[in-house]
Chains A and B, each alone.
Chain A
Amino acid sequence: MTDQSRIRNFCIIAHIDHGKSTLADRIIEKTGLLTEREMQAQILDNMDLERERGITIKSQAVRIIYKAKDGEEYIFNLIDTPGHVDFNYEVSRSLAACDGALLVVDAAQGIEAQTLANVYMALDHDLDVLPIINKIDLPSADPQRVINEIEDVIGLEAQDAPQISAKTGQNIEEVLEQIVAKIPAPKGDPDAPFKALIFDSVYDSYKGVIVFFRVMDGSVRKGTPILMMATGFSTEVVEVGYFGAGQFIPCEELSAGMVGYLTASIKNVRDTRVGDTITNSQNPCREPLPGYKKVNPMVYCGMYPADGAKYPDLRDALEKLQLNDASLFYEPETSVALGFGFRCGFLGLLHLEIIQERLEREYNLDLVTTAPSVIYKVHKTNGEVIDLTNPTNLPDPSEIEYMEEPIVSAEIMVTTEFIGAIMDLCQERRGQYLGMEYMEETRAVLKYRLPLNEIIYDFFDALKSRSRGYASLDYELAGYERSDLVKLDILVNKEEVDALSFIVHGGTAYERGRRMCEKLKDEIPRQLFEIPIQAAIGSKIIARETVKAMRKDVLAKCYGGDITRKKKLLEKQKEGKKRMRQVGNVEIPQKAFMSVLKLDDK
């Protein structure tokens, strides 16, 4: 059994692109776990998508042996956390599994909103935070400014923070030594009843669910009867082990302070919720670890196969993705315009985009996605309250007493020159200004209450474009608020297209309706007849555009007896039609359904 004093459990927190994964790779490499040749850049980001986007989606962990300058060998358990506000809860659970955190800050860019949010979260979990200044090889690096910023803004002692370049490997040794010196060893009770925190789980088709956890007290081995305290699921452990680089290494036992995995023929990832406490069902601990909550989707959208025949494929793909992602929700739904598909729930827009991309790439599906929607609370006149995830299901206005929408409290960090522009943006998005704090002379944090539905479409893009990429955003759900909401319907050739309906604030409905119509006019090709495109609230038309009728589509050319050629032309035309959705008499290209999601990119 390993002495707890030689274990260090830590994570790395950083803003996107500040070099978290690169540092993780360097640490793994320096400790000799893998030769350089075996290293594929960024070991911990397994998915292609993670590598491409430079973000971590799933939590990952790795165990490393480090021989320190004091001559002792230490076990490092590095837990890599997801890097996006959508996955805040996962981040908080990963932090809870650690005793310390490395805070990586870009030597040129300094602290960002998300860095700050994560640091506060780490401090909330009583983690010792070890600042690291990365990217000192950049010409624009200004380590001293960043050190001062860390001290002023966060209040962390940072003068002896390692100044490194994860890219070139410069000063990585110093990071490793400081981990030994500054991150506390775990202090669990090895003799107490088994108590462990789940920080992630993945599905393996042979072993079933593989649960990632940190042992707080006691120990676990093969055959231990276990109980998941929140879900109530109990079973018997089949295998325990720890994390090699990209592989699972079985071992006899995991005891207090250790990080590892277990398998127990668990079929459903839903039984092993992130944040849940595992204990010994024969000898349970008294109470679970604090902080568990069931994460619920915040954003919903309809996903439909472009080719209706692929519906079963989409269902299978969603099922498989859900095995690894308990926060993905889906249920079948039917759209008049799009046929059979699924209403899917996500943690946020990034989560949505990731799932969409994975479905398209890993499962080779061509998808049509409807506008994302948040969950509205509809208070009906009969006293009933419904959670509305699909605008199509909005009851008749006469049955509605009032509606509520989710509100987030947002922190936007921005350099002072863009404060005006960002405040304008928040204003346009119905933001309620709460205050502003200067972090230093040139940077400030703006605090707003914003309706969630105003930030799920294109708020990030708008934020970036209005601040030349400098603004960063962090937000959390702050409850529901009564609001003047209406359902905006789009009528194509006088027929309502259910997949294009959405809920919008009364004050912005006209503008949005007008822009939707304009955009659709460009997306819908001319057809055999004139097509009116209308935006309506109830029976009131608020905007209208017209797609003129096609005038000419005739082949007045002689191909002689070469009928095959003529036929090929017609076939091509027919092929084009297949990529369209028939609504009434009108064919709407699939990309029209998506194009309306981004009305701001002009």
Chain B
Amino acid sequence: MESDIPATGGGMTGAAAGLEIYVHIPFCVKKCAYCDFLSGPAPLPLQRQYVSALCCEIQAAAEAARETAAETGEPAIESARPAAGPVTSIFIGGGTPSILPEDLPEQILEKIKQTFTVAPDAEITIEANPGTLSKEKLISYRKSGINRLSIGLQSPKDRELAILGRIHTWKDFEFGYDAARSAGFDNINIDLMFAIPRQTPAVWRENLETVAAFSPEHISAYSLIIEEGTPFAEQELDLPDEDEEYAMYEDTYRILREAGYHQYEISNYARPGRECRHNTGYWTRADYLGFGIGAASLYQETRFRNTRNLQVYLDTFSDRPDKNLLQKVRRDRQVLSRQDSMAEYMFLGLRLRQGISREGFRKAFGRELEEVYGPVLKKYLNMSLLEEKDGWIRLTRPGIHVSNTIMSDFL
């Protein structure tokens, strides 16, 4: 019953030619007990100031992108507006972007449309906490062109939500989800978390069934990872053991498959054709620009990330947009060697259930996969942790569970 490989030629093959944009909103109502992302509560005026800085950065980046495009002789761009390549997806993430008053996401998207060329069918996602949604907000999102909603539910059990330190209840979710459907959202993701303290495989199965019954287009199921510096790291937690976690992961695959979702990535499940294009871009190494503090970018084989310091960011983009300002916030610039790019291609590509294709590798690097990674591939194919079919190499189910070990061998 390995029917979960999407037909090749779908939305997920190879690196997209377009550009993706990620916008980071570092604000939330209250930090969750497990969260190590860059976010925290902030007063409204600060939120407004931040969005105005964001708009400034977006404009500066668009100018810079236009120039590099001209220098590198990329396809000429029509008229005054456009920048490098059409923007194929926008993702407003956080933090809790839905904490913002509805005019702010609108401003951000407006700025992106003014300064970049956005493809008409671009996927535009916003992340939302069920405790922050209102009918008005949802309607406004739709008006601004947002066509995908990602709801951070984590668990349908209030008891588990309390353990995680979430601000919302199951009721909040039910309300938000219905309101989103009413507002016209036909592409909704629900984030779920497993291996929560005191969670048993049976509870997790129940959670999955509860959520699948709502028929969202997409479900992300992450395992709780205890990160240093979070409240969870300081506590004695009653976490499921390795075997239980293993069972939960396999249950996820099985239950969601029965409910009509196919697994297309290690943690992501979707109805056919509803895979998240934005995230798929990360795994296929599409170019993407991240705006806002801490946001990461991959642009023309260079990775960098913005400063995590809010004040530095606000001070830099307080006035007029100038492309020279970008260098003041961009950090950890790493120009990828060919070796780096190939390693990334492998370990990112293997996150996708379709895996990587020999042809795709050849197209991307002009070399044979066998020539570069022959021995490693052979090792894991022999161990049945990788499998090959029609020129595509992917993790087997046992391989998924030990994927870090395998991926690190491509570095």
Contacts and interface: CB of A to CB of B under 8 A. Distances in A.
Instruction: Report if A and B associate in a common complex.
Output: yes
Interface of A: 527-529, 550-558, 560-564, 566-567, 569-571, 573-574, 577, 585
B339 interface: no
The 8 nearest A-B residue pairs measured at CB: A573-B408, A570-B408, A556-B223, A574-B408, A561-B296, A553-B404, A562-B296, A553-B402
B401 A551 contact: yes
Contacts of B232: none
B297 A567 contact: no
Interface string B80-94: 000000000000010
Contacts of B298: 561, 563
A551 B246 contact: yes
A567 B288 CA distance: 17
Contacts of A562: 296, 305
| SS class, residues of chain B in contact with chain A | mixed
Contacts of B316: none
Nearest to B223: A556
B85 to A, nearest CB: 17
Contacts of A585: 379, 383
Given A564-B334, A574-B408, A577-B408, A557 B282 contact: no
Given A555-B404, A556-B221, A564 B383 contact: no
B102 to A, nearest CB: 23
B404 A573 contact: yes
A92 B385 CA distance: 64
A588 to B, nearest CB: 15
B404 A563 contact: no
Interface of B: 22, 93, 220-223, 225, 242-243, 245-246, 249, 266-267, 279, 282, 288, 290, 295-298, 303, 305, 332, 334, 344, 347-348, 379, 383, 385, 400-405, 407-409, 411
A266 B222 CA distance: 71
Nearest to A527: B405
A555 B225 contact: yes
15 contacts: A528-B383, A528-B402, A553-B402, A553-B405, A555-B404, A556-B266, A557-B225, A558-B220, A561-B282, A563-B344, A567-B411, A573-B408, A574-B408, A574-B409, A585-B379
Contacts of A554: 223, 249, 266, 400-404
Contacts, number: 96
Contacts of B379: 585
Contact of A570 (B222, B245, B411): B411
A226 B254 CA distance: 89
Contacts of A560: 22, 93, 282, 296
Contacts of B303: 563-564
Given A528-B405, A556-B222, A556-B249, A564 B266 contact: no
A527 B290 CA distance: 37
B333 to A, nearest CB: 11
User: Most chain-A CB neighbours within 10 Å: which of B245, B266, B332, B402?
Assistant: B402
Contact of B282 (A552, A553, A563, A570): A563
B292 to A, nearest CB: 12
A125 to B, nearest CB: 63
Contacts of A561: 22, 282, 288, 290, 295-298
Contacts of B385: 528
A571 B347 CA distance: 12
A554 B408 CA distance: 11
A563 B288 CA distance: 12
A574 B348 CA distance: 16
A557 B266 CA distance: 9
A570 B223 CA distance: 18
Q: Which has the most chain B C-beta neighbours within 10 Å: A550, A556, A566?
A: A556
Contacts of B407: 570
A432 B371 CA distance: 64
Contacts of B222: 556-558
A585 B375 CA distance: 13
Contacts of B401: 551-554
Contacts of B400: 554
A567 B279 CA distance: 16
Given A556-B249, A558-B222, A563-B298, 16 more contacts: A528-B405, A552-B402, A554-B401, A555-B266, A556-B222, A558-B220, A558-B267, A558-B279, A561-B297, A562-B296, A564-B296, A567-B347, A570-B407, A571-B408, A573-B405, A585-B383
Nearest to B340: A567
A557 B297 CA distance: 19
Residue of B93, B344, B408 contacting most chain A CB atoms (<10 Å): B408
Contacts of B408: 570-571, 573-574, 577
B240 to A, nearest CB: 11
B247 to A, nearest CB: 10
Contacts of A564: 296, 303, 305, 332, 334
B398 to A, nearest CB: 9
A570 B409 CA distance: 9
B150 to A, nearest CB: 11
Nearest to A569: B404
Nearest to B304: A564
B397 to A, nearest CB: 11
Contacts of B403: 553-555
A555 to B, nearest CB: 6
Contacts of A574: 408-409, 411
A566 B305 CA distance: 14
Contacts of B267: 556-558
A562 B305 CA distance: 8
A555 B290 CA distance: 22
Contact of A551 (B243, B266, B348): B243
Contacts of A566: 347
Contacts of A551: 242-243, 246, 401-402
Contacts of B242: 551-552
A553 to B, nearest CB: 5
Contacts of B409: 574
A552 B225 CA distance: 13
A70 B20 CA distance: 98
A563 B348 contact: yes
Contacts of B344: 563, 567
Contact of B347 (A553, A556, A558, A570): A570
A573 B409 CA distance: 9
A58 B93 CA distance: 68
Contacts of A570: 347, 404, 407-408, 411
Contacts of A557: 222-223, 225, 267
A422 B282 CA distance: 67
A570 B407 CA distance: 7
A585 B378 CA distance: 12
A111 to B, nearest CB: 54
Nearest to B24: A560
A551 to B, nearest CB: 5
A483 B383 CA distance: 45
Contacts of B402: 528, 550-554
A557 B288 CA distance: 20
A550 to B, nearest CB: 6
A299 to B, nearest CB: 39
Contacts of B404: 553-555, 569-570, 573
Contacts of A555: 225, 266, 403-404
A528 B407 CA distance: 13
A513 B348 CA distance: 44
A352 B403 CA distance: 42
A557 B34 CA distance: 12
A267 to B, nearest CB: 47
Contacts of A528: 383, 385, 402, 405
A554 B334 CA distance: 26
